[in-house]
Every structure is written in structure tokens, then in C-alpha cells.
């Protein structure tokens, strides 16, 4: 393994751990705000007790999430300094806004939310709770706008004098990919938190403790989770259309599709052939169950649409809106043009050193002509530009299959909780609710794996591959910090789970059914 591999693994490790905490923060903060609103409206101590219980679990998760997030941002400077230099003017802007506006807003009001019960008015406290949720959501917006820009770089221009990209249109950062990615992540956080609340509440029902509290929590978590999951599916559909437009290779990898066609089906379940490559004649799958027309509908909302596969994209073959076969730029040609862009940049640097104005202008013109393929100039082989198909393919199916399961999960949970005493008496349903909790996290992590592994080998799509984005550091230093972070993050995760379990056990011995309602 090279320093590039270790740097990627370290960043993946940090991102995976961080994403364990983020979606729960996004959803649980909203559940707490809803419950406190119900308390303020009803004046019922039952809702107050529920609010404080879930607020405690939110606070534990929030603290651990902040710790992992800070380390994640530092890694851009320590491990990916070339990337930071190349795109710092663009990528740094949303991160700066997130830190200076959203995170400070979130951090300020979370303090009022936890410590202001007897120090501020009930309405001000409720406002602080809602603003904590809003701050978390706005924080996610800027992070995901930055991430989406890496998937679809826009709103910038390369400045050869600085050897870096500079922003020329801030608002172009809010592309279709950015909006869909943001909504998809936030709504999935609602769904994950709904599963979490139902699972914890089911434990109270299983132990026959605070059953009224558990039922109320399941109703709130169930409705928010169902709405969140339906919106996640809707935004996921929008994301697929955007990926088709701007990252067709990612879509082909998600499907394990090498040779596309019209009315393309989608594989509901299957095994990809590990021996299959873009330039051999082996079968794509060892076995597959295909839904007719599925991929054409997902990609272009058209039963008869043409969807290119990996080999088609590599060879530069596509079909236009009129159904005519057209030649796009093949990957071999992209590599050639990318190397020409590199040569133009070197020529500009040499002309600039010689104070050759005409030579500089000529080099800039040639660079602009080929800059869209700049990143391909780092490759020596077409194979380097193809993402890991197996990981992307299986991650996509894990996400979709578990997402479909949780749609049924929410419907059954809500049906059961509204039937008088039915959920309380069905131990098997309670066990399913509890066991399902980790699978929702698996679904969430699989979605991120599709998004990030599917765009490899790029840190910035088409412009900067991972091997050109890293810092000049030794593998030994990255290996050391990799295992150090793995240990620290594991300790933090174990600490969070144990503290949460301790708090749940503590509250299970407390009467949460007292009602002093007027």
C-alpha cells in the first residue's frame, strides 16, 4: 500500500466514524424540538420528561460528533495539502461559512437548550431548541455543498499564475447535485433518528417500563421517520438523474454495467463478475435478477432511454436526445488532452519566467481549451480512471434493499402503535424494532460509500485524482495516525454507546408518566 492508499483509508475511517453521529444529530434535534413544542402547548409534564430524555441522548451524540468532525477537517491540511492548495479558494468558502455561522449558531443555542431550563423563559428555551436544530441543518448544508462541488466542480476558473482554481461564481456551488445531496442526507437523518427512537422505545416496552412514554415517542419518531424516508427516496431519485448527467461512470459502476443499451433494466440482486473488465468479453454478472426498464427510468425517467455502460463511456460512445449514436471524448483521448493541458501549464510557467507575454497568452489559450480533462493527464492507463465496481455495486444494493425494508418498518410500527395496546403485547415486534437499529446505520453508511467510492479515483471530478492530491509525507506517518485514529474513534464510539445505555437504564428506573397538566 502506498501513501495514497493509506491517506485514503485514513480519511475513509474518519468519515465513516463521523457519519455515525451526524445523521442522528440532524434527526434527533428535530424530534426534541417537536416534543418540547408539544410540552409548551399541552403543559404536560409527560412531554417535558420525554423532551429531556431524548435531549440527553442528543447531547451525548452531539459532543462525540463534534470531536470526529474537527479531526476530519484537519486532515485536508495534513494529508491532502495539494488538494487544499488546488481548490482552497472554492472548497474553503463553504467550510468557513459553516464554521463561522452555522456551527457557532448551533453551539450557542445548544448551551441554552441544555442549561437554560430555569434561566430563560419557556418560549425562549423552545426557540433555542429549534435554532439548535436549524443550526445543525445549516451546518450540514455547507458541508454537503462543499462535497457536492467535488463531485461536480463549477463556479470557478483555473488561474495559471497561482497554479490553482479561483471562484468566479459563488452561487453556482448550489448545483442540482448539491441540493439533492443535501436534502438526501438530511432526510435520511430524520429516518435514521426515527428508527433509533422506535428501537429505544421498544426496549422500554419490552421491559414493561414507562410504556406511555415509549408509545408517545414511537408516534413522534415513527411519523418523522416515515416522512424522512419518503423524502429520502424522492431526493435519491433526483440524485440519480444528476449523477446520470454529470457522473455517468459512477452510475455505470453502481449498476455494474459495462455495455449499456436502450430500455436498460436494473439489477435487483446479483453478483458481479470480479474478472470482468471494460475490454474483455466475460459476462458482467455471475448471476442477476433484473427488473426490466428499471435503470432507464431511474437515470432518465424514460422507459426507452439509452444508458451507457463502463465500456461505452471509456470508448466515448453515447446516444443523443434524438436517439442517434454519437462519439464523445474517449478516455484515451481525455488522457492525451489532459497531458496537453499539463504541457500548456508548464509552457506558461516557462514563458512567465522569461517575461514572454505572447508565449503566456498562447499557453493560457491552449490550457483553457483542454482544462476540462486536466485530471486525466495524471493517468498512464484508462484502467486508472474506472472506480471500484464491486464495492459501489454492492453498497448501492445494500442501501436500496434496507431502505425498502425500513419503509415497511415504519408503516408496521405506526400501524401497531395506534392499535390499542397491540404493540405493547407483541414482543416479536419489539425485538425487531431493537435489532433493526444498527441496520439503519448500515444503510446510511452504504449510501455514503456509493457517493464517495463511486467517484473514485477523483478528489475533484475530472480535474484532480487522489494520487495528485496528497501531501508529501511518508507512509509511516500516515500508518501511525491511521491506527491512532482507529483506536481513538473506537474508544469514543464505545464511550458513546455505553453512556447512552447507562442513561437509558437510568431513565428506565425513573417515572416518566407523572402529569401535572392543568
Q: Could you list the pLDDT tens digit for every one of the 518 residues in the chain? A: 788 889 999 999 988 888 888 999 999 999 999 999 999 998 888 899 899 999 999 988 888 888 788 888 888 888 888 998 998 888 888 888 888 888 788 888 888 988 888 889 989 999 999 999 999 999 899 989 999 999 999 989 999 988 889 998 899 999 999 999 999 999 999 999 999 999 999 998 888 888 888 899 999 999 999 999 999 999 999 999 999 889 999 999 999 999 988 889 999 999 999 999 988 989 999 999 999 999 999 998 989 888 999 999 999 887 666 655 556 789 999 999 999 999 999 999 999 999 998 989 999 999 999 999 999 999 999 999 999 999 999 999 999 999 999 999 999 999 988 886 766 677 888 899 999 999 999 999 999 999 999 999 999 999 999 999 998 888 888 899 899 989 988 998 898 888 888 888 887 667 666 554 43
Rounded to an integer, what distance in angstroms lies between the CA atom of residue 182 and that of residue 101?
A: 17
Rounded to an integer, what distance in angstroms lies between the CA atom of residue 271 and that of residue 507?
A: 46
Say yes or no: 53 and 86 in one domain.
yes
Cβ within 8 Å of residue 354, ≥6 positions away: none
Rounded to an integer, what distance in angstroms lies between the CA atom of residue 516 and that of residue 518?
A: 6
Which has the closest alpha carbon to 236: 98, 402, 90? Answer: 402
Which has the closest alpha carbon to 454: 283, 232, 240? Answer: 240
pTM of the model: 0.90
Say yes or no: 368 and 403 in one domain.
no
For 208, phi then psi, to 5°, come to 60, 40
Question: What's the distance, Cα to Cα, between the start and end of the chain in Å?
Answer: 67
Q: Which of 317, 352, 382 is the last residue of a domain?
A: 382
Say yes or no: 393 and 377 in one domain.
no
Cα within 13 Å of Cα(411), Cβ side: 7
Query: Are the beta carbons of 359 and 403 closer than 8 angstroms?
Result: no
Residue 9 lies in a domain: yes
Rounded to an integer, what distance in angstroms lies between the CA atom of residue 72 and that of residue 444?
A: 18
DSSP letter (8 states) at residue 462: T
Say yes or no: 346 and 322 in one domain.
no
Say yes or no: 95 and 130 in one domain.
yes
Residue 442 CB neighbours (<10 A): 12
Residue 515 lies in a domain: no
Residue 345 lies in a domain: yes
Residue 514 lies in a domain: no
Residue 516 lies in a domain: no
How many domains does the structure of the chain reveal? 3
Say yes or no: 203 and 293 in one domain.
no
Residue 322 lies in a domain: yes
Cβ within 8 Å of residue 126, ≥6 positions away: 33, 36, 37, 40
Q: Which of 314, 349, 382 is the last residue of a domain?
A: 382
Question: Which domain covers residue 266, as residue numbers?
Answer: 256-327
Say yes or no: 396 and 463 in one domain.
yes
Rounded to an integer, what distance in angstroms lies between the CA atom of residue 333 and that of residue 353?
A: 30
Give the three cell numbers for residue 159.
488561474
Rounded to an integer, what distance in angstroms lies between the CA atom of residue 381 and that of residue 335?
A: 8
Say yes or no: 45 and 84 in one domain.
yes
Q: Distances in Å between the alpha carbon of 445 and those of 63, 271, 366, 459? A: 20, 20, 42, 19
Rounded to an integer, what distance in angstroms lies between the CA atom of residue 55 and that of residue 400?
A: 30
Say yes or no: 407 and 301 in one domain.
no
Say yes or no: 126 and 150 in one domain.
yes
Cβ within 8 Å of residue 277, ≥6 positions away: 383
Rounded to an integer, what distance in angstroms lies between the CA atom of residue 320 and that of residue 340?
A: 28
What string of DSSP letters covers 298-335? Answer: HHHS-TT-EE--HHHHHHTEEE-TTS-EEE---HHHHH
Say yes or no: 363 and 419 in one domain.
no
Say yes or no: 399 and 461 in one domain.
yes
Q: Which of 382, 415, 446 is the last residue of a domain?
A: 382
Residue 513 lies in a domain: no
Query: Are the beta carbons of 304 and 262 closer than 8 angstroms?
Result: yes
Query: Are the beta carbons of 389 and 256 closer than 8 angstroms?
Result: yes
Amino acid at each position: 500500500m502506498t501513501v495514497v492508499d493509506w491517506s485514503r483509508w485514513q480519511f475513509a475511517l474518519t468519515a465513516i466514524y463521523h457519519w455515525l453521529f451526524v445523521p442522528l444529530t440532524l434527526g434527533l434535534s428535530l424530534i426534541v424540538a417537536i416534543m418540547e413544542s408539544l410540552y409548551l402547548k399541552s403543559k404536560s409534564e409527560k412531554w417535558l420528561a420525554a423532551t429531556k430524555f431524548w435531549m440527553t441522548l442528543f447531547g451525548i451524540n452531539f459532543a462525540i460528533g463534534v470531536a470526529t468532525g474537527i479531526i476530519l477537517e484537519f486532515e485536508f491540511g495534513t494529508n491532502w495539502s495539494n488538494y487544499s492548495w488546488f481548490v482552497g479558494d472554492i472548497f474553503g468558502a463553504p467550510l468557513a461559512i459553516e464554521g463561522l455561522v452555522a456551527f457557532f449558531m448551533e453551539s450557542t443555542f445548544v448551551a441554552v437548550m441544555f442549561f437554560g431550563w430555569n434561566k430563560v423563559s419557556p418560549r425562549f428555551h423552545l426557540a433555542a431548541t429549534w435554532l439548535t436544530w436549524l443550526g445543525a441543518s445549516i451546518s450540514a448544508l455547507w458541508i454537503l455543498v462543499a462535497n457536492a462541488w467535488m463531485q461536480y466542480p463549477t463556479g470557478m476558473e483555473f488561474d495559471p499564475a497561482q497554479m490553482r482554481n479561483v471562484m468566479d461564481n459563488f452561487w453556482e456551488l448550489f448545483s442540482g447535485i448539491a441540493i439533492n445531496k443535501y436534502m438526501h442526507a438530511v432526510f435520511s437523518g430524520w429516518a435514521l433518528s426515527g428508527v433509533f427512537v422506535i428501537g429505544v422505545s421498544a426496549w422500554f416496552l419490552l421491559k414493561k417500563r414507562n410504556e406511555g412514554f415509549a408509545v408517545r415517542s414511537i408516534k413522534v419518531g415513527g411519523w418523522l421517520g416515515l416522512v424522512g424516508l419518503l423524502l429520502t427516496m424522492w431526493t435519491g431519485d433526483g440524485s440519480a438523474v444528476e449523477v446520470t448527467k454529470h457522473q455517468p461512470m459512477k452510475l455505470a459502476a453502481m449498476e455494474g454495467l459495462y455495455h449499456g443499451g436502450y430500455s436498460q433494466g436494473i439489477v435487483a440482486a446479483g453478483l458481479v463478475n470480479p474478472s470482468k473488465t471494460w475490454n474483455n468479453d466475460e459476462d458482467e454478472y455471475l448471476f442477476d435478477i433484473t427488473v426490466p426498464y428499471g435503470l432507464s427510468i431511474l437515470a432518465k425517467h424514460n422507459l426507452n432511454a439509452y444508458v451507457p455502460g463502463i465500456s461505452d463511456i471509456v470508448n466515448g460512445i453515447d446516444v443523443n436526445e434524438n436517439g442517434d449514436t454519437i462519439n464523445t471524448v474517449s478516455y484515451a483521448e481525455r488522457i492525451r488532452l489532459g497531458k496537453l493541458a499539463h504541457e500548456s501549464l508548464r509552457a506558461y510557467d516557462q514563458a512567465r519566467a522569461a517575461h514572454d507575454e505572447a508565449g503566456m497568452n498562447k499557453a493560457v489559450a491552449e490550457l483553457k481549451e483542454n482544462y476540462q480533462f486536466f485530471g486525466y493527464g495524471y493517468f498512464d492507463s484508462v484502467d486508472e480512471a474506472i472506480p471500484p465496481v464491486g464495492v459501489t455495486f454492492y453498497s448501492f444494493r445494500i442501501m436500496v434493499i434496507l431502505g425498502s425494508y425500513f419503509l415497511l418498518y415504519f408503516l408496521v410500527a405506526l400501524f401497531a402503535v395506534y392499535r390499542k395496546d397491540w404493540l405493547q403485547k407483541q414482543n416479536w415486534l419489539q425485538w425487531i424494532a431493537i435489532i433493526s437499529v444498527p441496520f439503519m446505520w448500515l444503510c446510511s453508511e452504504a449510501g455514503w460509500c456509493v457517493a464517495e467510492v463511486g467517484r473514485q479515483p477523483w478528489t475533484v471530478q475530472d480535474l484532480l485524482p487522489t494520487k495528485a492530491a496528497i501531501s508529501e509525507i511518508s507512509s509511516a506517518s500516515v500508518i501511525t495516525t491511521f491506527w491512532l485514529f482507529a483506536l481513538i474513534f473506537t474508544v469514543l464510539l464505545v464511550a458513546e454507546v455505553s453512556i447512552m445505555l447507562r442513561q437509558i437504564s437510568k431513565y428506565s428506573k425513573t417515572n416518566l408518566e407523572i402529569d401535572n397538566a392543568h
